[in-house]
Structures are given as C-alpha cells and as structure tokens.
Structure 1
Amino acid sequence: MDQTTQRVVLPTLFQERLRMVSEIVEKGKSSDSNKQILRSTLKDMNPVVQEIKQYNEHLNPPREEIKTLISEKDAKEEPKKFCLDKCLFWFLCRFGHKRDGSFAGGDKEALVAKDIEEKLYKVREILELLSKENFEQKVGGVGGPIRFPFGVPDNPDFTVGLDVPLSKLKMEVLRDGVSVIMLTGLGGMGKTTLATKLCWDEQVKGKFGGNILFVTVSKTAKLKIIVERLFQHCGYEVPDFLSDEDAANQLGLLLRQIGRSSMLLVLDDVWPGSEALVEKFKVQIPDYKILVISRVALLRSDMQCILKPLGHDDAETLFRHYTHLEESGASIPDEVIQKVVRNCKGLPLAIKVVGRSLCNQRSELWLQMMEELSQGRSILDSNVELITCLQKILDVLEDNLAIKGCFMDLGLFPEEQRIPVTALIDMWAELYRLDDDGKEAMAIINKLDSMNLANVMVARKNATNTDSYYYNNHFIVLHDLLRELAIYQCSQEPMEQRKRLIIEINQNKHGEKTKFLSWCVKQKPQQVTAHTLSISTDENFPSDWPQMQLAQVEVLIFNLQTKQYSFPDCMEGMNKLKVLIVTNYSYYPSEINNFELLGSSSNLRRIRLERISVPSFVAMKNLKKLSLYFCNMKQAFQNKDLLISYAFPNLEDLNIDYCKDMVGFPKGLCDIISLKKLSITNCHKLSALPQDIGKLENLELLRLSSCTDLEGIPDSIGRLSNLRLLDISNCIGLPNLPDDFGNLSNLQNLYMTSCARCELPLSVTNLGNLKVVICDEETAASWENFKPMLPNLRIDVSQVDVNLNWLHTTFS
C-alpha cells in the first residue's frame, strides 16, 4: 500500500472514543437534545491529542510539523479554563467536514465555531501527517500494530550520581547483539530510577523506538498476567491461555513478532525464585537486550552492574534537593547538614526520607537531630518512615529464616570495620552446627553477598586461596545502615529477653551508655537469656561491670579500643560459653589483665584473639581451636607451671597469623598430639621448625606460608603420615625440601609459590598420592622433571596478586 494513502491504525482506546463521538455528533447535527451528552463525552477526549503528541515523540526523528500544529492548537485554548462549548463545535465541525461555521446558532456562536473549526482542522492535519509518515511502520514495526514504550515510568526530574552507571548500561544496550544485563544493588539504591533514565535516553530511544518494554515482575508475579498485558499493549487480541506453558509459548511468538527490529526488555523488581520466569523471556531475536533489575544477583549475565552508595558530595546535593534548603531560605548551620548527610550513609532512600521529613522544619528540630546523632544514636531512632522503608529490604530473607539469623549476627561487630569470615565460621559452627571447615558458612555469606546485604572482600589473593576452605584473607564489609537495621531488629524485645544482646558503650555512644546503666540498676543481678553477647567499649568505660547473670551465653564478642582491659567478673557464670572473640581495633595490642577467668568456662571450644598481648594461657580442657592474629604472644606459651599439652589436651586447630614476635617455635607445642591443623603464617621472624614436629602424628594440614626467614624443614616431617596439605608459599629463604620428604605418603596438595630457590629431593617420586602442586614458573620447571614418575600430578602455575590491600584496616 502506498505510504501516502495508508491509514494509521490507532490504538483500541483511541478508535473506540472516536467511534462514540462520531455517532453522537451525527445525531447532534439535527438535534440539540444531545448537547449535554456531547459535553460529557468530549471532556474525556483531551487525552487524544496527548496520545498523538506521545506518538510523535517516538518517531525517528520526531516531526517538527506535528509539534508546530499541536503548539498552534494549544495556543488557542484558554489557559485557565477548558471550554466544553468550544470542544463541542470543534468536533461538530470535524465530523461534519465543514469550515464555514454553519453549525453556529448566532453571531457569537459563529465566531466561536470558526475558532474551533480552525483548531480541529489542525488536528486533522496532524492525523493526515502521521499517516503520510507511515507511523505504523516507524513505531510498530512492519506489519504490526502501533506500539510505543510500554510501562516505562515518568522520566525522573532530578537525579545525582547515576552518570557513570548509566554510561555503562548504555554502552551495553547500544551494542548490537543479544545480551542479558544484571542490575543489582541494595534496596533503595536507585536501580529503578537508573533503568528509567536509560529508557528515556535519546540514544536508547533512537535505537529501540517503541520496542521498549518495562515490566514490573514483583514477588507474586504471574506469567499469564504479564503476557496478557503485553498482548493488550501491542494491540493484539489477548489469547485465552490454557496454562503457564501455553502462556510462555505465546510470549515467545509475540516477542519474535515484535522483535523484528531492536528490542529492549526491562524486568524490574525480580525476586529470588523468579529465575524460571525470567528464562521465559529469553528468545532468539537478532538484537534483543534484557535488563534484569533485582536486589539479588539471580542469574548468569553478560554484564553485571552493581549500584554503590553515593559519595558525600552527591549525597549532600540530593539531600539539599529534598529539603528545599535553597528555596526556603532556612539558615541551617552547615555542620548540622553535614552530620545528617553522613548518617544517611550514601543511601538515596534514606536521604530522600530524611530530607523530606526535615523540609520546612524549624531549626530547633534540626539541632535536636544533630544532638541525638552526636550521642551515638542511629538515624533510624528518629524516623519511623525510614525504618519502615528499610525493613522492606529484609523481605528478601523472609523465606529463609536461617540466613536471616546469620545476617542479624553481622550487627554484633562494630561499624565501619571489616568482619573476618573466620570469626563467623567459628560462631556459626557452634550456634548453628555448621561444618568446621567453613564451607556451609561461606555458602551463606555468598548468598548474602548476592542479595547485596553484605559485600565479600578478599584482601589478598594468593595460591592458598585455591585450596579447600582457607578464609584468613576473606572479610565482609557491611553498609552501616544495614548494620543499624540488624541492631534495630535485635532490639525489638526487652533487653533481658533478646537472643542477641548488643552493648555499645564508648565516648561516641552516650545515649546507649545511659540506657544500659539505667537498665542495670532496675534490679540486681540482671538475668539475660541471650545466646550471643557483643560488648563494644573503650577506655572511657570502667571495667567494674554491673552484675549480670549470663548463664545462657554461648558466644561472647569483645570489640575493644583500649590499651588495657579486664574481663567482667560475670564471665565466671558463663557455663555454656563456647566461643570467645576478642578484637582490639586500636593500633597497639591491648593487654588483658584477668585472662585466668577463661579457666572457669569449662565448655569453651574456640578462642579468636586479634591485636592482643596474650598472657600465659590457663588450662582449657575442651578447647578445640585457638586463633591468634596480630598478637604479641611472647608470654603466651611460657607458663612454667603448666605444660602446653596439659593446658590444651584436645586442641585440634592452631592458627597463628602475623605475630611478629614469634621468633622460635613454641616449646611443648609438638606435644599436643591431638593437633590436626597447624597454620603459622606471615610470621616473618620464624627461622626454624623443631625436630619434634614429627610427633604430630595426627596432623593433616600444615601451613607455613610467608614465613620469609624460614631456613629449613627438618627431616622428621617425613613422619607426618596423615599430612594431606602442605603450604610453604612465599617461604623465599627456604633452600630445599628434606630428603625424607617423599615419606609423606598421604600428601595430596602442595603449595610452593615463590619458592624458586627450593630444591626438590629425589624422594618426591614416592609421593604417589600427590595430585596438585601450585607453584611459580621456575618451580614448575623443576617438577616437570618428575612428572613422568607421578602420572596423577597436576602442576598449576599461580598468578599472584601483588598488592597491599591486606594491610588496610579502618581505625576509629
């Protein structure tokens, strides 16, 4: 059909309205009785012109003639009042095809009719121009009905901090080909806003035209309903779907029909468990982009974009926008503004809610909020709406209460500090009966990471990261507002009834200190039913704690910022205590004055100390695991009145990392024959191992990585018949392996990256169970000589990540 004569196929709603008006007008030409009906009908016709206007915006390029015609029509309308009489004569003239004002009943009406007749003529010109421009093909695709972008929200009038991620998304969607893009981020971070800006971008509109579909999936999405809406939008008759499978098949046919040109599909608010539904939208179309928006990294994608919190400058700009500070002329001190903005932690949702709550408020309210924040109170405490919004972030965990409980445990650690994964492994192994190696705990952590409820950071990558369940370099970084949300969730019950009791008493938490002391003086002693107790304190709080009964506590966490500290006396009554985690966040190690209290905890199974000057150990008969990080341990194993083997008769796992004063191997350590895992890493002054190391007959794992001054390994290591894994990576001073090394008959994994000087003995040919050697290129060449005698051996050359990120720690 010739383009100049082809008629425009109007949307169903548009056609129906014109049909109704046409019928009524035909009657109205001979009768005045229908005038009131005309007025009522024509009142709803104003959107018709707006639809024409929208269609024109999606022509490529938009026609200036149509813009001009609509502008001329609009200019003739009264600015404050829409005259129904004028509309009446306008459409009478239109459907009567007359331009002589013959429908006017008098001189005044004739003038009005002539004016309306001219405006109507402009509308006719617009419709004819759309037809000549072959609007059907330019917007709807060849042979299909008219379409324009479906479901796209209004273009946001103000945004900040989205330029970089927008450019990243644009680069991918404008590239030819098929791809799935995953847009994730914490709830309230602005994911939907970013996707909306993408759909309204001129370049994106230029490529996809009307083939932009924006579908909100939601938690309770029904495939049939979504497909019905798409069919209706595209102007096709909605089929009667027999089943979800039938709906999926019909969806595929629809997408192939409308996808003859480039198409962008946005699936917003996709929840866990909807992966199968998303798969239904994946069809083979030449240039088809799917943007999946979710709080959770649900599926494999060709590109992933993670929205991060706003920087301070962007956060302040957004905050000022919602508070209307410039427009109101309010004289709020800058320090107050900065304090509030910082406590929103860069989360756009928090900035929006808090900003609106302070808009047009008196300065006294601002100052009151600053005072509360200065006392260590959370910004959640003063804003119920913000709490309500943030709690929705945790809706994603409602179907998995076990993972929600693990998320709540993250609030036990101080703000703006990395959480060691090894500490969580120790906790959860005892609280939730997870495995000792950390495999199950890491699965939960990765799940939280995929939900953007926590960020996993590997501080230092090396060969050891490839072995089974070594997580000394793994940390969790938690957004501060998420931490406050976890604490808020924990605090909804009275203190004595909480499962997790979090006590923060330091110079930045005056309000918390007052609340805690007020609770303590109500009755003595206070009975606590919590199974987990976290205490954060500094030198400003005395060690003489109020008496509390803590008989149910299984995990005790101390977060210190002090040079000296004394455990509270109430620890003597912790008969169920299984895990003790003490971390000093000051630069210098903290001294514990009454370490002997630990001897009263008969069920204590795991101790983790970081930046502590460790005094002489006391007997702990049931201790299974001892971890020392950045500790001064010179005195730890020098109790003349107590043999180490007697103090720790059941110790299975000893982990010593970054203890710079460890020069020699602790005397008596080799007498703990129960040891199965021994890790002495990054102890650069350790120069030798004792011959007695051969006594550790149950040892299955030995790590000596990054002990740079280590000068040799004794022959007695050959007696470790159960040893399965040995890590000597970065022992750069090691000249050779001992001749009896080949006696390690059960050795399966050997890590020796950066051991280029280390010579291999001929006895390595006896390592029949050796499966993997991870090493540098020079060491790999040495092993290649023995590979013919070791047919099961795989030699991997490790690419070491050289950086100093592992040294980064945030100090308060």
Structure 2
Amino acid sequence: MQISVDSKRILEKVNGIDGRLERIETIGKCERVCSGNGLVGCCVVPKVRGFVVGFEEAVREVKMLVVSGGEQVVVVSAPGGCGKTTLAKMVCHDADVIGMFKDNIFFVTASKAPNFKVIIERLFEHRGFRVPEFQTDEDAIYQLESMLKWTGPNPVLLVLDDVWSGLESLIEKLTMQIPEIKILVTSRIVFPRFKSTYKLKLLSDKDAMALFHHSAFPQDGSSSIPDDLVDKIVRGCGGFPLALEVVGRSLRGKPIEIWKRTLKQWSEGKSFFSSESNNEILIRLQTSLSSLEEMYKECYLDLASFPEDQRIPATALIDMWVELYNLDEDGVDAIAILHELSMRCLVDQVVTRKDASEISGHYNEHFVTQHDLLRELAIHQSRQELIEKRKRLIMEIDGNDFPRWWIEQRQHSVCARLMSISTDESFSSSWHEMKLPNVEVLVLNIQARKYTLPQFLEKMDRLKVLIITNYGFSSFEIQGIPVLGYLSSLKRIRFEHVLISSISDSILKLRNLRKISFIMCEIGEAFRKCTIRILDMLPNLSDIVIDYCNDLVEFPACLCEIRSLEELSITNCHELVTIAEDFGKLESLKKLRLHACTKLLELPESIGSLKKLVFLDISDCISMSKLPVQMGDLCGLRKIHMRGCRGLSELPPSVKGLQQLKDVTCDEETAYLWQHYENYPNDLEICVHKEDVNLDWLHDI
C-alpha cells in the first residue's frame, strides 16, 4: 500500500513537470538546443575548482571596478596561466556582485576566433528564448537589447573570458546600445581603448609555495626533498599558478634525482615562443612532459586536434586511440590515460553523470577540457620536426587562408598519422590538393554553415577514423559524402551536430566499417526515407551509437538487417517512441543501451530472439509501462540496468527463466519489482543505486 501511494505521488509530480514544460513550449521558449559542445547557451558562472590561494586582494579590487558606476568595460589582463579565469569566477560568485546583478550574470568563453553572433545566441538560449536568425552582429546586439528589456530591470554583467584581438569594436557597440550592461573581459592582451584595466599579478613567494606544496605534497605537506631544492623549483615556476600545479603534480612522489634533473632541464631551456611572458612558463611545463610515459605523452599531444575552449568527448578519443595505439575497444585503457593526465593537471575531466561508467559501462558522459596554454604546448611539441616528418598535423584555417606549404605542396607527401583541420564560419570549402597517404585519423572541426568534404579524402587509403564535428549553433548538411565510398580502410566514423538527409550508398559500401556514431545529429528523416536493403552490406559493422538525436521517433527497420551488429546504444533520444518489430533479427547483438529514451513506450516482443544479448540498459525510460512477455527467452542475459523506470508496475512472469541473470541495477522505486525473484537459485544480485547526477558540467561548455 505504501509503495502504491508513493508511486501515485511520483506520477503526480512527473505529470506536473510535463505540464509546465508544455506551457513553456507554448509561449515560445526552447526546451534545449544541442550543438557540438553540449547544451548551447548555458552561460552559468562556472564553479571555482581546486586549491586557490593569493587572490583575495585581486577579487576585492576587480569587484570594486565591476560594481562601481565607472567604466562599462573592465579588463583583467595577464599572461596565460596566471589565473585570469579563476579570478573572474571568484568575482562573479562574490555576494556583493550577486546582490547587484542577481541572475543577470552571464559567463561566455570567447576564444581566439570568436563568433559574436554565437555569443549572443548563447545568451538567448541561456534565458530560454528561441534564438532568432541574426543577419549581422549589429542586428544581434539590437535583439539582445530587446530581450534584456523584456526580462527585467536588473543590470547585466557579461563575462567574456579569454578574449583575443578583434572583439573590441563589437564590445564598444554593445555598451553603447545597452548602457545598463557591464562587461568583464579576461585577456592576455591589454586593450588601450578600454581604460579600466586590472593587471593580474603573479603569486607572491608565500602563496606560490603554498600552492606548490598542495600539488606536490598533498597529504601533510612534509617531504624528504630538501627545502632549498623545493625553493628553487618554486622560484623557477615564476609565480604562475598553472606552472606550480602542473610541475608540482609531475614531481609528486618522485625521488630527489628527478627533482634535480628538472632543474637542470630548466637551466638548458631555450626560448621557442615569441611571447616572452609565455616563454618562461612553457619551458617549465615542457619539462613536466619528460616524466610522462611515451604512450601518455602521445595521447596528450593528440588532444590538440580539437579546438581550444571546447569539451573533448572521451568517446572520440577512444575511437582515435583504439586505432592509433591498439588500445582495448571497451575504453578502459583510454579512460585510465585521461585519469593519469588529469592527475598531472594536464587536462580537467568532466563527467556529466558521476556513476555513468558504472551504470552503463559506456563513456558518452565523459569529457575533458584543457587550458589554452597546455594546448599551445602540445601544438608546439608537434611542430618540432619538418612538416613532411611530423606525426600529427594540426591545421587552423582562418577564412580561406591556407598555409603556404600546403598550397605549394607538389612532389612531397607528409607522413603524419593524425591530421586535424579546423575552419571558421567564413571558410568556402575551396580545398587545395593534399597528399596524405599515411593519415589514419582525420579530425574535421567545422563552423561554417555550408561545408563540402575535401576531394583528397578519396586518396587516403590508410584512413581508419573520421571525426566530423560542427561547433556552430545550427546543424547543417555536409556535402560531398559520396567521397567516403573510396575509404576502403575506414573503421570508425563519428558525426556530431550535423544533418544527415539520406543514407548514402557510399557509407553502405564501407566493408571494413566497424563503428558509426551519430551525436546530436538530425537523422530521423534519413532513416524514414531509407529504402536500401542493408542486408549483406556493412558486413563488419559491430557498433552503432545514437546519442541526443531528438528527431528520431522510431528505430528504423532497415538497421535491423545488420546481422553483424554486437553493440547498439540509443541514448538521450527523447522523441524515440517505438522500436521496429524486426529488431529480433539482430541475432549477434550482445549489448543494448536505451538509456534516457524518455518517450519509449515498450520493447518489441521480438527481443526474445536475441539469444546472445548479455547486457540491457533501459534506465530512465520513464514512459515504459511494461516489459515484453518474451523477456524470459533472453537466455544469455546477465545484466539489466533499469534505474528510473518509474512507469513499470510489474515484471512479466517469464523473467523467472533468465537463468544467466546475475546483476540487476535499479533504484529504490523499482527494486521492489524484483523482490519475488531475488531468492531464485541463479544468485541474482539486486543493486540499488541512489541518483548521482553531476550538474557542474553545465559550467564547462
């Protein structure tokens, strides 16, 4: 009786939430919009992470500049690695600042190649409004003014983090058009036209020592390393917080000989960056790489393949590293590498659901971020050799400005195994020819609204991994897909935030393709129109990932013909309602994930034909009211994850036939469904988990 009462209360709350969401939709607001870097428009101020020391005076002085009635633009300027972003976060979390600006504090990372319209689009999305189609930057400013007036009279604080040259005039126009806005800019550059500039100082000797001790000696601060040696290392870091943390982590637990060698390497360091302020810290950071095992170092350098100030999906890295370094396909090796890099402060890990890997054995909730300076270090390390001999080529093309060596390339080809090409919104897809016979991984980072794949792809005979990511606000269709048909060695394709209008014959001809991923893509129409018989095509395709594809309403019958498929993940597809009855044809399927398909009503009865199915995840399928009668025919099933299945009121009697079932992961609301089956002789273990969702990731996009 108590369970029944609790269930009715929960259902009432869920229905209330649904009603509020419907009302929000009817007044023209957005539920959420997805893009290549997650939920666009989340401009919440990030939390201040880690150990922070020596910022009290800076916070007080910058706060006074922000809350005063003086200049509209306040600039915090310092070299990379000094803690400008940390300072900005601390100012925004100050009680006086919150009291003045209330919930009108927006935090946006501008990056080296800023798109001003995208910045404004994020502000609209953050407020929950549908994003207009801005014709110009001036139009974006005008519509932002209208939106802010509509939302209330409170003053506005906009933080533009990591601003480079090129945004000054637009910032001035923004302040002229919206006099009640205050803008806090962090930058490595001093902008003369903005009078209110705070130059962030390096840490004092005392604070630098405290931060270093926290990083190098985390337990009680004691160590057998002589104080004079520690003092030399700390002074060598020059008061840069980032250098103190990274170097401290790299020396943690190391013998005294490693410490002495580090000092020797510093004394032999030579300048390699034009900026003298960055030169010293980069020399210090470079020595921290020398203590890395070769595999970890190579993986660290690969991170530069992705744009600055963007979250890097762990699943994309897994795809790369499985083929480049023969890591295990389950991702465990790759995640271990990321943990090691994180322990050394070379990356920051972001897990959107802290228990994600435990629950689903999947890493689509795992991401990493990297400080701009650490990315610059990786790029610098990759450029130490001649272009023809480099292991990886990292290309950033502004407009249609190709590097001269690319345009003039005639006789020589490059031997790189990894290539990354980033283009901005003004790129016209007018490619120059390129000889890339040895490239095994190609990463294409896109912002333009029209994009054509390069023709030189058809000559990349060794290409194994292709990652295409759109970092713009709106998804679009990529042209030139037929060129993929020439990639006979291709094993993995990852599409993120792109429109797939049709299932191309060229993709179906990829006989060595093992995995294809659609992340935040529009694919529903393509599958609805698919009339091609996939049977006998894609003979080696074993893994399909579909995540956050919110136009997918029905799992397409054509995919049920892929007899080689062993793993299928359809997660966070909130419009998925039904699964084709032909689903039972997937006779080789071993793992099925349907996590957070919130409108999925039921599983097909034909699922009982999947005799090889070992793992089933239906967690957070809140609309599912029953399980198939044929569930008991899943003779190989060993694990079920079904947290958040609050719509289920009973289990079919056939579950008694699941003789191989050993592990059921659920929550308190669904655990009672299994109480009659827990004592059967198959040693069934019911594992009840509490919800553990990490919303801090919203601050890192």
Band of TM-score, shorter chain: 0.5 to 0.7
Distance 1:521 1:737, change over 3 A: closer
Matches within 5 A, 1:98-497: 160-161=54-55, 193-194=206-207, 196=209, 215-216=224-225, 274=253, 384-397=279-292, 400-461=293-354, 464-467=356-359, 469-497=361-389
Moved more, 402-411 or 644-653: 644-653
What letter corresponds to residue 676 of structure 2 in structure 1?
N
SS at match of 2:423: strand
Considering Cα pairs closer than 8 Å and 6+ residues apart, tell me whether 1 or 2 has the greater RCO: 2
Q: Which residue of 2 aligns with 1:207?
A: none
Distance 1:219 1:669 in 2: 66
1:556 aligns with 2:446: no
Of the candidates 520, 532, 553, which is equivalent to residue 630 of structure 1? 520
* Shift, 1:780, TM fit: 0.4
What letter corresponds to residue 722 of structure 1 in structure 2?
K
Q: Which residue of 2 aligns with 1:176?
A: none
* Shift, 1:396, TM fit: 2.5
Of the candidates 674, 684, 700, which is equivalent to residue 793 of structure 1? 684
TM value normalised by structure 1:
0.54
* Shift, 1:602, TM fit: 0.4
| CA shift digits 1:30-64 (9 cap, x unpaired) | xxxxxxxxxxxxxxxxxxxxxxxxxxxxxxxxxxx
What letter corresponds to residue 740 of structure 1 in structure 2?
Q
Distance 1:583 1:498 in 2: 24
* Shift, 1:453, TM fit: 1.0
1:537 aligns with 2:423: yes
Distance 1:528 1:213, change over 3 A: closer
Of the candidates 607, 611, 616, which is equivalent to residue 721 of structure 1? 611
* Shift, 1:614, TM fit: 1.6
What letter corresponds to residue 518 of structure 2 in structure 1?
L
1:694 aligns with 2:587: no
8 Å contact from structure 2 (residues 354, 692) kept in 1? yes
Distance 1:646 1:632, change over 3 A: farther
8 Å contact from structure 1 (residues 756, 776) kept in 2? no
Distance 1:473 1:428 in 2: 18
* Shift, 1:465, TM fit: 2.9
* Shift, 1:576, TM fit: 0.2
| CA shift digits 1:153-201 (9 cap, x unpaired) | xxxxxx832799xxxxxxxxxxxxxxxxxxxxx999979854745999x
What letter corresponds to residue 442 of structure 2 in structure 1?
L
Matches within 5 A, 1:568-607: 568-607=454-493
* Shift, 1:785, TM fit: 1.7
CA-based RMSD of the aligned residues comes to 3.5
Distance 1:190 1:785, change over 3 A: farther
Distance 2:227 2:248 in 1: 5
Q: Which residue of 2 aligns with 1:505?
A: 397
* Shift, 1:385, TM fit: 3.5
8 Å contact from structure 1 (residues 724, 747) kept in 2? yes
* Shift, 1:714, TM fit: 1.7
SS at match of 1:694: helix
What letter corresponds to residue 737 of structure 1 in structure 2?
L
Distance 1:504 1:767, change over 3 A: same
Give the gaps of 5 or more residues in structure 2: 1-52, 59-80, 84-201, 214-219, 231-246, 260-268
What letter corresponds to residue 568 of structure 1 in structure 2?
P
SS at match of 2:291: helix
* Shift, 1:703, TM fit: 0.6
* Shift, 1:642, TM fit: 3.4
Distance 1:272 1:591 in 2: 48
Q: Which residue of 2 aligns with 1:224?
A: none
8 Å contact from structure 1 (residues 526, 548) kept in 2? no
8 Å contact from structure 2 (residues 524, 552) kept in 1? yes
1:643 aligns with 2:536: no
Distance 1:630 1:770 in 2: 33
8 Å contact from structure 1 (residues 765, 790) kept in 2? no
* Shift, 1:436, TM fit: 0.7
Distance 2:561 2:645 in 1: 29
TM value normalised by structure 2:
0.62
Q: Which residue of 1 aligns with 2:137?
A: none
What letter corresponds to residue 412 of structure 1 in structure 2?
S
Distance 1:386 1:627 in 2: 39
Distance 1:440 1:219 in 2: 39
Distance 1:724 1:806, change over 3 A: farther
Q: What count of residue pairs does the alignment treat as equivalent?
A: 472
Q: Calculate percent identity across the aligned residue pairs.
A: 43
Distance 1:187 1:797, change over 3 A: farther
Q: Which residue of 2 aligns with 1:760?
A: 651
| CA shift digits 1:526-556 (9 cap, x unpaired) | 5221110000002322212111101111000
8 Å contact from structure 1 (residues 526, 547) kept in 2? no
Of the candidates 657, 664, 667, which is equivalent to residue 773 of structure 1? 664
Distance 1:410 1:483 in 2: 7
Distance 1:478 1:272, change over 3 A: same
The structure with the largest alpha-carbon Rg is 1
* Shift, 1:566, TM fit: 0.5
Distance 1:792 1:572, change over 3 A: same
8 Å contact from structure 2 (residues 309, 372) kept in 1? yes
